[in-house]
Amino acid sequence: MPLTINNLNHRIHDGHTERWLLTRVSLNITPGECVALTGDSGSGKTTLLNLIAGLEPVQQGEIYVGGQGLQHAKDKTLSLLRKQTLAMIFQHYNLLSSLNVMDNISFSARLAGRYDEEHSLSLAKNLGIDHLLDHYPDTLSGGEMQRVAIARALGPRPKLLLADEPTGNLDNSNSDKVIAQLLSLAKSHHSALLMVTHSSSVAEKMDKIYRLKDGLLSQQSGGG
């Protein structure tokens, strides 16, 4: 299973007080399943993604990514997991400005020791950015940059893709195209996808929709 979360509780310091941000959160995502994570601003969506990526320590409960438990995992295990098993896509793309598109796409796969030129080129072709391979990020549109970020994330063939508002900076027609490409590539790679989104039309395109409210995660109707 790419992602299993059992009874996760997470407490934060809010000024001088402490409060539970996440309570009894459980979630399973199967290979190739695409799941939307929704919830009001401040409900804890980004914190949950950070916990799954091993960027914040698990306080109570269990998170398994590709079978690897994150609770009690050492930093080395977590950094290997981020290289080999999961990938993240951000709203602000996080491309490397000194590398051209081809090198940006190859970057994560090289880091994971899984670089495959044919695979990188096929991702670029599928995402419609193969004519931009020698361009640099500052010459690209927002939609093009997000496509490069998606190709880079899929380069190492991750079991789990985490995406935080990946189309938040795009207009509706670009957003629809990028989401359609992301879903179809995630499915064809059998990568599970957990995507934070504020857009109900984006959420509806996913297999399942979950909502975080008052610390609790619940499945909503819709999606699929």
Ligand X SMILES: Nc1ncnc2c1ncn2[C@@H]1O[C@H](COP(=O)(O)OP(=O)(O)OP(=O)(O)O)[C@@H](O)[C@H]1O
Q: Which parts of this chain interact with ligand X (CB under 6 A)? A: 12-13, 21, 39, 41-47
| Min CB(125)–ligand X separation in Å | 33
Least separation, in Å, of the C-beta of 209 and ligand X? 15
Q: How many CB atoms lie within 10 A of CB 46?
A: 14
Q: Is 38 helix (H, G, I), strand (E, B) or coil?
A: strand
Q: Buried (b) or exposed (e) across 149-170, using 16+ Cβ within 10 A?
A: bbbbbbbbbbbbbbbbbbbbeb
User: Measuring CA to CA, which residue among 28, 33, 30, 23 is closest to residue 5?
Assistant: 28
- Closer residue to ligand X (CB): 106 or 146: 146
CB 8 within 8 A of CB 25: yes
Distances (CA, A) of 99 to 103, 111, 127, 157: 6, 15, 19, 21
47 vs 71 by CB, closer to ligand X: 47
Nearer to ligand X, 21 or 34 (CB): 21
When the beta carbons of 49 and 145 are compared against ligand X, the nearer one is: 49
Q: Which is nearer to ligand X, 177 or 211 (CB)?
A: 211
Distance CA 59, CA 158 (A): 25
State in angstroms the smallest separation of the CB of 127 from ligand X.
Answer: 26
Least separation in angstroms between residue 139's CB and ligand X is: 29
CB of 44 to ligand X, least distance (A): 4
